[in-house]
């Protein structure tokens, strides 16, 4: 069973990875939201991030939490709520 400290570290790592994806792919993210194909547009970057996350956390954390997915939504999607899209309607 992972400790609370291990969980907190995993959450921070997930958010750092999502932040890097967001920082280096802003134009692609905006276009993906506008076209309502964000996850297809970022598929390679998100998979690379997921692989990095998986390699740096324990299998228990990876298999029993959704920290990476939550970080992607919080940092990449939610922070772009101002971008016009059918997604927000």
Predicted local confidence at residue 87, as pLDDT: 62
Question: Please, what is the Cα angle at 48 between 84 and 31, to 5 degrees?
Answer: 15
Predicted local confidence at residue 88, as pLDDT: 59
Q: How crowded is the C-beta side of 28, counted as CA atoms within 13 Å?
A: 14
pLDDT in tens, 17-27: 999 999 999 99
Per-residue pLDDT of the chain (89 residues; tens, 9 = 90+): 899 999 999 999 999 999 999 999 999 999 998 888 999 999 999 999 999 999 999 999 999 999 999 999 999 988 887 778 776 56
Rg of the chain in Å (alpha carbons): 14
């Amino acid at each position: 069973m992972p400790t609370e400290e291990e969980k907190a570290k995993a959450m921070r790592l997930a958010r750092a990875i999502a932040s890097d994806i967001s920082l280096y792919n802003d134009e692609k993210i905006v276009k993906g939201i506008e076209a309502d194909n964000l996850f297809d547009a970022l598929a390679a970057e998100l998979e690379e991030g997921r692989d990095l996350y998986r390699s740096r956390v324990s299998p228990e954390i990876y298999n029993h939490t959704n920290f990476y997915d939550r970080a992607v939504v919080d940092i990449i999607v939610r922070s772009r709520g101002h971008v016009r899209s059918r997604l927000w309607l």
